Amino acid sequence: MSAAVHNFSAGPAMLPLPVRERVAEALAPRSDGSPSVAEISHRGKRFLAMAEELEARLRGLMMLGAEHRILLLQGGANLQFAWLPMNLAVGRTPAYLLSGHWGQKALDEARRIGPATIVGSSEEGGFRELPEIGHLPAGCAYLHFTGNETIHGLQFQQPPAAAVPLAADLSSEFLSRPYPYADLGFAYAGAQKNLGISGLTVVIIREDLLERIPDDLPRYLDYRTWVAADSMYNTPSTLAWYVALETLRWIEECGGLVAIEERNRVKAARLYEAIDASDFYSNPVTEEGRSQMNVPFWTVDEALVSRFVAAAEDAGLQGLKGHRAVGGLRASLYNALDLDAVEALVEFMQEFERRHG
């Protein structure tokens, strides 16, 4: 019998097995020839019922009240980097808190739209700790932060405290734990980590912020268009919506976000413990900043990284190569990954160390 394969990909990431099975079943040909969920109109009764359940489940898990709107969009987090300042930073300066690669990208894009200020950054130390917030600009549009930096493996335990609307990129920690979503003015997350497959971006926006949107934007790039159209201004990515719905049902079956958080905490603790117990592997992030979702790590001898990746693949451990921006190794421990996978990784790491240490 061949060893089980475990998928540590940073995204698109693994789906929970029951979700994969249900999606496969939903797409399987029917003997009477009736269409699957991916082959029907998004305006028809069957799809609209699913869309309604999807929004209700998202709202429930995020514990959002009527003051927040949920939008289901396309274009990924990268489009939000520009879409957000185009809508909410006109005539006001947004502030950015930088804890890694993605926050930097969000800032660069905002600066193509208008001025934007950095109010804290841990870049100087190589993004190994969470940044402190400095002085916010007068009339600040919002404070942007990246809840979890997927590449640097740095995560805010809680949203930063600031007296301006908070705007968060939550891509790689979305629905991984109970989180005060209702305290945010704005947030966005691609679905391809904890909510299914790529092609869907969830945005939440506090209703009062819609009033700040200028009237001369292209319709597609005005959040109000999507609010008015219930996220169906044009054809949505219907299959990604369906996979998201099955993923939300699965989260509930697991016991909701409290149970999911506990699973994630145990997995991350196991891996950090193994890294810290060894002189062969290292993770440079301070304890308060360590991510529960993405764990970058290095072998003391960098030359061993590619051998590690190749040997891990042979042992059925996939997706462990670090992001090209920082090199090294990275294990992504999203909701769908079982503790078994982390145990298999730790065992492999110990064996690799014995052979090469």
Ligand X SMILES: Cc1ncc(COP(=O)(O)O)c(C=O)c1O
* Cβ-based nearer residue to ligand X, 190 or 236: 190
* Cβ-based nearer residue to ligand X, 13 or 140: 13
Number of helices (H) and strands (E) in the chain: give both, helices first. 9, 14
The CB-of-350 to ligand X minimum distance in angstroms stands at 29
The CB-of-334 to ligand X minimum distance in angstroms stands at 11
| DSSP assignment string, 241-291 | HHHHHHHHHHHHHHTHHHHHHHHHHHHHHHHHHHHHT-SSEE--S-GGGB-
CB contact at 8 A, 96 and 149: no
What is the sign of the dihedral through the CA atoms of 158, 162, 165 and 166?
A: negative
Name residues contacting ligand X, limited to 38-77 (CB under 6 A): 76-77
* Cβ-based nearer residue to ligand X, 169 or 222: 169
CB contact at 8 A, 329 and 322: yes
Two structure tokens written together for 218: 């292209």
CB contact at 8 A, 21 and 351: no
Two structure tokens written together for 250: 């699965």
* Of the candidate residues 87, 99, 122, 150, the single one contacting ligand X (CB under 6 A): 150
Q: At what angle do helices 76-88 and 101-113 cross, to 10 degrees?
A: 40
* Of the candidate residues 172, 176, 231, 292, the single one contacting ligand X (CB under 6 A): 172
* Cβ-based nearer residue to ligand X, 76 or 131: 76
Write down how long the chain is: 357
Name the closest residue to ligand X (Cβ). Answer: 76
* Cβ-based nearer residue to ligand X, 77 or 341: 77
* Of the candidate residues 171, 231, 299, 335, the single one contacting ligand X (CB under 6 A): 171
* Of the candidate residues 146, 194, 291, 292, the single one contacting ligand X (CB under 6 A): 146
Q: Which residues have a Cβ under 8 Å from the Cβ of 58 and sit 6 or more positions away?
A: 70, 202, 248
The CB-of-76 to ligand X minimum distance in angstroms stands at 3
Please tell me whether residue 303 adopts helix, strand or coil conformation.
helix
The CB-of-169 to ligand X minimum distance in angstroms stands at 5
The CB-of-101 to ligand X minimum distance in angstroms stands at 8
Q: Which residues have a catalytic role annotated?
A: 102, 169, 193
Two structure tokens written together for 357: 């240490």
Print the binding letters for residues 77-106 with ligand X: x by CB under 6 A, - otherwise.
Answer: xx-----------------------x----
Binding-site size for ligand X (CB under 6 A) equals 11
The CB-of-190 to ligand X minimum distance in angstroms stands at 3
Distance of alpha carbon 339 from alpha carbon 2, whole angstroms: 19
Two structure tokens written together for 91: 């005539």
Name residues contacting ligand X, limited to 277-296 (CB under 6 A): none
Name residues contacting ligand X, limited to 11-30 (CB under 6 A): 11
What DSSP designation does 103 have?
A: H
153 touching ligand X, by CB under 6 A: no
The CB-of-193 to ligand X minimum distance in angstroms stands at 7
Distance of alpha carbon 342 from alpha carbon 8, whole angstroms: 9
* Cβ-based nearer residue to ligand X, 19 or 77: 77
Distance of alpha carbon 5 from alpha carbon 343, whole angstroms: 13
CA dihedral 144, 146, 151, 157 (to 10 degrees): 150
* Cβ-based nearer residue to ligand X, 93 or 146: 146
Contacts with ligand X by CB under 6 A lie at 11, 76-78, 102, 146, 150, 169, 171-172, 190
